[in-house]
Amino acid sequence: MTNSGVDTSYEAFKVEQRGIDLVPDNERSMRPWNLFWLWAGAIWNVEFLVYGALLVSFGFSFGQAVLAILVGNLAYAFLGLASLQGPEAGTTAFAVSRAPFGRNANRVPSLFNWLTQVGFEVEGLVIIVAVTVAMFHRGGVGVGSGLKVVFIVAAVLLQFIVPFLGHATITRVLKNLSYVFIVVFVVMAILVIPKVNLAHFHQHATWAIWTTGLLLVISAGGLGWTENGNDYSRYLPRSTPARQTFWAATLGAAIPSILLELLGAAAFVVSPHITQVTAVPSSFASWFFWPFLLLALPQLFAINSLDLYSSGVTLQAMGIPVRRVGAVVIDTVVAGAVTALVVFKGKFYNDLAGFLLYIVVWVGPWFGILAVDWFLRRGRYDRAALVADRGGVYWRNGGVNWRALVSLLIGMAAAMMWVDGQFYVPSYNSPISRATGGSDLSWLVGTLVGGGVYWALSARSIRREQEQSNLLAEVR
């Protein structure tokens, strides 16, 4: 705060010093409209264009792809629900996760999340490098291993800047980029829609393949973003109506996701090459190559900023004794090293599909537990206990709530019973998937079982915790 009483702690292009520590009420200058544009700016992205094209590449008819996109993007309601705790608690997703799990048991899902966030960072960096290579090739410049290393290092250094500056900068940058990419989307739609001819496009996916495609949409979309939700809603005032927070996050992400995936599916009908980001312009017009890829690069950096910011605060939630800016440095180095391995050794699109397939095994049960815990607590948290080193209402048995940990493991086991991973690494085809011809409903089973078991085990104990928390609040 300045002498004039104006809050200057939440400003873009200044380094945010706060990590998972509580955001004071007088420093919450964010508004639901800002949250809407933050998510819109992240999702207006070439990656989601490719996701839509991938559905049709699996053998979907265009109608089947449309249905999967519309149904799958309903999962952004999960993101809306996973953003409701931030304004009340004033801290990040995996600090809030200490309420059901306890500080020490929470290290388990936090580790899973950190690995997931780094995986998404690597995905973005690999695409950035591929786009840069394509641009050099288009300019007649050959790209060898040495130049690829330069591209990786440059991408990692550029990627570091916005997450290093923090929440306010991410919000401002994504909002402004969304305006630009909306214009690009309109141009793409004008270029591709007149070329779509479904009369000669005859293919039809089985129910099993359709569920796998639906999983792709849900994992890359609404369910896959739940672990980031409260990282960005925590700067909303506590007085923000829950419905405004919910709809800001849900619609901000769902609207561009649906539009881009539908356009990607239509573009595949025009050109199958669109399943690779660097070949996207081939589905439109030759003159569109340079403006599209030049605008795609900052957008790819932008969506990666969300993952890199979240992975940093997740390290803190794990109990790693490092400041937020130091955590961003650590994650940048790790993501850069893994990116180099993927660029030179990996099979990117197969690796990406396998990654999106398996992350729901833990994300679904964790989200189910978080949502049930929030509901049972009626949305109220002991904020001081969430960030306490030890003690407090969420400490329980040495910082471990076995009920939540058991619920997570049972939910993950249930999800693994309905996974169709026979074509990915590690290769695995579950019993229920085999019995249903290769279908995959792991995301749904994991969420319902994880949340259901937690409800059965914890409803009474949470009621007692809330009573204890209310008594402590009266003493304070």
Q: pLDDT 10s digit of each residue in the chain, 476 long?
A: 433 344 445 788 999 989 999 999 989 989 999 999 999 999 998 889 989 998 999 899 999 999 999 999 999 999 999 999 999 999 999 999 999 999 999 999 999 999 999 999 998 999 899 889 988 988 889 899 999 999 999 999 999 999 999 999 999 999 998 888 888 889 889 988 998 988 878 889 999 999 999 999 999 999 999 999 999 999 999 999 999 999 999 999 999 999 999 999 998 888 887 777 766 766 677 788 888 888 888 888 988 999 999 999 999 999 999 999 999 999 999 999 999 988 988 677 677 778 888 999 999 999 999 999 999 999 999 999 999 999 889 999 999 999 999 999 999 999 999 998 877 767 888 999 999 988 999 999 999 999 999 999 999 999 888 887 766 555 55
The per-residue pLDDT for 459 is: 93
The per-residue pLDDT for 281 is: 67
b/e per residue 28-44 (b: at least 16 CB within 10 A): bbbebebbbbbbbbbbb
The per-residue pLDDT for 180 is: 87
Alpha-carbon gap, residue 283 to 269, rounded angstroms: 9
The per-residue pLDDT for 474 is: 52
Residue 2 C-alpha from the chain's centroid: 35
Cβ–Cβ < 8 Å for 248, 32: yes
Alpha-carbon gap, residue 328 to 311, rounded angstroms: 8
The per-residue pLDDT for 464 is: 86
Beta-bridge partner residues of 421: 428
Q: At the topology level of CATH, where does 25-349 sit?
A: Hydantoin permease (1.10.4160)
- Provide the 10 A C-beta neighbour count for residue 201: 13
